[in-house]
Chains A and B, each alone.
Chain A
C-alpha cells in the first residue's frame, strides 16, 4: 500500500504510468496519419500493471513481453526516445529500426523483447531465471502475457517447468478481456486464468489492474517469494485496453461506451492521483508538473523520430550472426 512507498517512489510510479500513457496516446494520433509503418498494439489503460510489477525489479531481473509491449518496455527502463524512433523505423531506434513495435528489446536493462508470437515468452523467461539460479545472482523473471496467450501450450509448459525446477518466475497474466476480437469469457475455460495456478502447483492471485497499489502489493509479495527461493506465482491482473487489438481495429465487438466509462471511473492515473493527493502527501501541482515534463519528452521523441535517418541499405545484411 502507499504506506510502503515513499514520496519519491510514488512520484516515480506516477511518472512511469504517465510516460506510458502519453507515449501510447501519441502513437495513436500519429499512426492515424499513416506515417508510422506496419502496425502497433497499444497498452493504454493497462499502465498500472507494468508499473506496479516493474517497480520491484532490478537491472539484473528479466521480463518477457508481448505484442502489446510498449508499457512493459518503458516500465523496465527502456529509453522512450529510442522506442519512438524504433516504431518510426529509424536507424536511431532501440533495435536500429530492424525490430519495430513488436520486437523492442534491450537486454542491457533486462528487457528480453516484446514478442510477435502469442505465448512465446514463457519458455524464454524460464531460461533467464534458470541461468540466474545457476549463477546464484538472486534475479527473478517476469513473463507478461495476455488472456489470449493464457490458452497457449507454451505458457502451460513454462508454468509446469517453473514449478518442476522451482524457478524464480512470475507469470503475469494481463487479462484485458479480449484476445483480438474474442472475449476471454469465451476463450478461457475457467472463471479466472489464476484458477489454473493450482494445476501447476503454484499460488494464484487475482488483482484489480486499474489499481496501481493493488498490483504493486501483490507483485511485491510474489517477487519477494520468488527471489527467496519460494518458486513461481501466477498472477492475473484484470484490466482493459483503451484501444483496439491493433490501431485501426474498429472494435465493433465492444459494448457502446465501454471504454469511455472505464476512462471516467476506473482509470489508473485518475485513481492514483485521487489517492495520493487526498491526504496531501503529494499535490496536484506536482503531478501536473510531471505531466508537462512527460509531454515535452514524448513530443521531443516524435520530433526526433521524424527527422532521424532510416537505416542505411547496408544494414539489411548485418546482425544476422555474431560471426559467419
Chain B
C-alpha cells in the first residue's frame, strides 16, 4: 500500500528491506551507525543525515562504521563484493570520490572485463550530490557524468521518493557495480511510495508529462524543475514531453529519440557543468540519431563552467532555474 514518505525514508526503507531479505547485504561508511568506540550511543547518527538510522541494531554486525578512509573502505566493499557479499558503501558526498577514484574506476569497473568475464562485483556506492545547501565547492558537485563515462559502472540518479526506493532495491540486487546518487536537496521531498518491496529496472526512462511541442530531458533534481517549467509553459500554450532517464548508464536512448522524432525540439537540463556533461551527451545523441527530425537548435540548460560558489546569492545563480528552462523551451519553440 502506498503512503507518503520522504526521499530519505524511501532510501532507508530500500536498504532495510533488502537487508531483511538477503543476509549478504551489508552497509558500510563513515558514521553509517555513528558512535563506534565512543562512550555514548553506538548508533548516534545513522549517517550524516540519518539515512541509515535504525539499521545498526536491527542487523547486528552488518552496519559497519569506517574510519575516514575512502580508498580503504570503498576498496574493501569492492573486495567483499568479489567474495560473496553485497556491500552498500556510503561515501557521504560525491565530491569525496576524488580520493578513492582508483578503487572505483580501475578496480571495480574493470574486473569483469579484465578477468575475461569471470568476476562479479555486486557493490553499490551511495553518495549525495548537488548544490543548494550552501555547502560550497567541495560538497556540492554533480559528477554523475564522470561515472557515466566509465564502462563497467551503472549510474543511478533518482528524482523522487518512488524511484529512489525502487532503483536502490534494483541497485542492491544488480550484479554489477552501481553508483547510486542522491540529491541532497531532495531528501525532504515527499511522495507516494508503496510499503512493499519493488525494483525499477535500469535503462527505462520515466515520461512524466506528455506534449507535442518540445522534449525536455532532465536529471535528478532538475526533473522537478522541468516539471514546474512545463506546467507554467502549458498555460502559455507550449506543451512538453518531460523525460527522466532515471539512470545515466544504461541510458534509455529510445524514449528520448522517439520523443524528439515527435516534437523536433529538445532542451536538456543538467545540474553539471556544460562540457562533457549529460546535457552535451544527450545533445550529441540526438544530433546524430534524430538530426532529420530537428526543427530548432538543441538547448542545454546547465550550471556554468565554474566551481560551485558558497554565498546563496551566487549559488542560486549557479543552479539551473525554472525560469531558465522556460526561456530555453520558449526559444526552441519560437525558432523557425
Contact = CB atoms under 8 A, between A and B. Distances in A.
Nearest to A64: B79
Contacts of B250: 324
Nearest to A129: B79
B76 A126 contact: yes
Interface string B77-92: 1111111110100000
A303 B287 CA distance: 51
A1 interface: no
Interface string A110-149: 0011011100101111111111101100000100000000
Contacts of B174: 322-323
Contact of A157 (B64, B69, B83, B110): B69
A161 B69 contact: yes
B113 A320 contact: yes
Contacts of A98: 113-116
A133 to B, nearest CB: 9
Contacts of B62: 134
Given A116-B106, A123-B75, A161-B73, A323 B176 contact: yes
B239 to A, nearest CB: 34
A157 B70 CA distance: 8
A160 B118 contact: no
24 contacts: A99-B116, A103-B114, A105-B115, A112-B79, A113-B111, A113-B114, A117-B106, A120-B107, A124-B107, A127-B77, A127-B78, A130-B80, A131-B79, A131-B80, A132-B83, A134-B62, A141-B79, A154-B71, A158-B72, A160-B67, A165-B64, A319-B117, A321-B154, A322-B174
* Interface residue tally on B, bucketed by range: 35 or more
B116 A124 contact: no
A124 B67 contact: no
Interface of A: 62, 64, 93-99, 103, 105-108, 112-113, 115-117, 120, 122-132, 134-135, 141, 153-154, 157-158, 160-161, 164-165, 318-324
Contacts of B176: 321-324
A96 B116 contact: yes
A122 B152 contact: no
Q: Max chain A CB contacts within 10 Å: which of B66, B82, B176, B203?
A: B82
B252 interface: no
Contacts of A160: 67, 69, 72
A64 B111 CA distance: 13
A234 B168 CA distance: 38
Contacts of B175: 322-323
A259 to B, nearest CB: 32
B180 to A, nearest CB: 16
B258 interface: no
Nearest to B37: A164
Closest 4 pairs (CB-CB, A-B): A123-B75, A127-B79, A157-B72, A96-B116
Interface in B169-193: 174-176
B115 A127 contact: no
Contact of B79 (A99, A103, A130, A321): A130
B77 A320 contact: no
A117 B101 CA distance: 12
A22 to B, nearest CB: 24
Contacts of B120: 322
Given A117-B107, A319-B116, 11 more contacts: A103-B114, A105-B111, A107-B115, A117-B106, A123-B103, A124-B76, A127-B79, A158-B76, A160-B67, A321-B112, A321-B176
B119 interface: yes
A127 B76 contact: yes
B114 A117 contact: no
Nearest to B106: A117
Most chain B CB inside 10 Å of its own CB: which residue of A64, A99, A129, A141: A99
Nearest to B87: A127
Interface string B2-30: 00000000000000000000000010000
B105 to A, nearest CB: 10
B151 interface: yes
Contacts of A318: 117
B74 interface: yes
B312 interface: no
B115 A124 contact: no
Nearest to B28: A130
A13 B112 CA distance: 32
B116 A135 contact: no
Contacts of B154: 321, 324
B292 interface: no
B102 interface: yes
A320 B151 contact: yes
B40 interface: no
Nearest to B74: A123
Contact of B72 (A116, A120, A126, A141): A126
B39 interface: no
Given A120-B102, A124-B79, A157-B72, A135 B118 contact: no
